[in-house]
Chains A and B, each alone.
Chain A
Amino acid sequence: QQQVKQSPQSLIVQKGGISIINCAYENTAFDYFPWYQQFPGKGPALLIAIRPDVSEKKEGRFTISFNKSAKQFSLHIMDSQPGDSATYFCAAKIQGAQKLVFGQGTRLTINP
């Protein structure tokens, strides 16, 4: 119940295309869902986050879609660029706690 399942494991998208990464969870006590971007040799960087009281949040080319009833959320990267090539992690936080549970990660490659 503490798990967050992420897919796909790897993704190749052409430059200018839309990258979509999906996550699913079981624990309804999760109340915060961030996405992290990690480049090789670097720590994860907070990209965008959402709380379950909204269905969508957009920041620039990055959008989180959240489906509370299905217990799913996804990251959409519009107009994907080679600089977006990185590993992306979804995560979730239990209400009242601060620690995060991470998905398995998606290695995204944007072909020029």
Chain B
Amino acid sequence: SAVISQKPSRDICQRGTSLTIQCQVDSQVTMMFWYRQQPGQSLTLIATANQGSEATYESGFVIDKFPISRPNLTFSTLTVSNMSPEDSSIYLCSVVGAEGAFFGQGTRLTVV
């Protein structure tokens, strides 16, 4: 299974600011996935990040709000832009290996 490291693990941010979340994987992967988990809720896919191309966003998520970078096969960032309290969630990075999909420990974001 892949080892996925996310930074920061948690943050409290002022509304209107932006936060960039980093995801580092211990092996090269073609696709990396970013999910959002709102308080007490399930996981919702934000976007799929491919190395060397633009991220693919799911319905309801836009690049201006959640810009993603994928500079190489082991690293990706997700930025939550112009934050509001509704963005308070856990943001999770995920990769798929031969045994299935694996997740980082998540970034718990609180917007005040």
Q: Which residue numbers of A lie inside 8 Å of B, CB to CB? A: 32, 34, 36, 41-46, 49, 89, 91, 93, 98-105
Residues in B whose Cβ lies below 8 Å from that of A93: 101
Counting chain B residues whose Cβ lies within 8 A of the other chain, the interface size class is 20 to 34
Would you give the 0/1 interface string for B38-54, flagging 1 where the beta carbon is closer than 8 Å to chain A? 00011111001000000
A-side interface mostly: strand
Residues in B whose Cβ lies below 8 Å from that of A44: 43, 92, 103
Sample of 27 A–B contacts (CB below 8 Å): A32-B100, A34-B101, A41-B105, A41-B106, A42-B106, A43-B103, A43-B104, A44-B92, A44-B103, A46-B1, A46-B99, A46-B102, A49-B100, A91-B101, A98-B31, A98-B33, A98-B48, A98-B101, A100-B43, A101-B45, A102-B42, A102-B43, A103-B42, A104-B41, A104-B42, A105-B41, A105-B42
- B45 to A100, Cβ gap below 8 A? yes
C-alpha gap A34/B94 in the complex (Å): 14
- B100 to A43, Cβ gap below 8 A? no
